[in-house]
């Protein structure tokens, strides 16, 4: 549940909070008579198009799969896919690394159950 909440919060942050700086902003005059480039911030979706909503929904879907599966195998599979997604997507978008928190929130409890430290459901 914590992994899903984390994924939802992170995806919401990137979908609605302006985090991407537009480096090709317009030139505007300054008070001293010169010109400077105005750097506007955009949301991740505004900067890259609506198709990235699918990228933001993937971690939520993986965490939801682990929650619905309620087994260590489903949590391990979803966590491993989320780690791979985060590491590969970091080459294109540095914000993807923040999803590693959600992966940890799935993999650590699954590992503790597999090691017998915590009680949980088994496949």
Predicted confidence (pLDDT) per residue in 78-92, tens digit: 999 999 999 999 998
Q: Under 8 Å CB-to-CB from 20, ≥6 apart: which residues?
A: 41, 42, 43, 44, 46, 47, 48
Q: Is residue 121 part of a domain?
A: no
Q: Is residue 122 part of a domain?
A: no
How far CA 47 is from CA of 4, 31, 72, 95, 99, in Å, comes to 25, 29, 37, 13, 20
Q: Is residue 73 part of a domain?
A: yes
Q: Is 116 exposed, middle or buried (0-12, 13-18, 19+ CB in 10 A)?
A: exposed
Q: What is the pTM of this model?
A: 0.79
Q: Is residue 119 part of a domain?
A: no
How many domains does the chain divide into? 1
Q: Is residue 64 part of a domain?
A: yes
pLDDT of res. 58: 94
Predicted confidence (pLDDT) per residue in 20-37, tens digit: 877 777 778 888 888 887
Q: Is residue 120 part of a domain?
A: no
Torsion over CA: 108, 114, 83, 54 (sign): negative
| Contact by Cβ (8 Å): 112, 75 | no
């Amino acid at each position: 549940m914590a992994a899903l909440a984390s994924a939802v919060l992170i995806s919401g942050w990137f979908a609605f909070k302006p985090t991407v700086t537009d480096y090709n902003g317009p030139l505007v005059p300054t008070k001293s008579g010169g010109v400077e480039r105005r750097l506007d911030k955009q949301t991740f979706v505004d900067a890259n198009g609506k198709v990235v909503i699918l990228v933001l929904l993937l971690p939520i879907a993986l965490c939801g799969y682990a929650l619905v599966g309620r087994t260590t195998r489903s949590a391990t599979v979803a966590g491993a896919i989320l780690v791979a997604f985060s590491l590969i997507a970091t080459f294109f978008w540095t914000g993807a690394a923040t999803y590693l928190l959600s992966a940890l929130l799935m993999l650590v409890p699954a590992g503790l159950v597999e090691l017998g430290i915590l009680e949980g459901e088994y496949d």
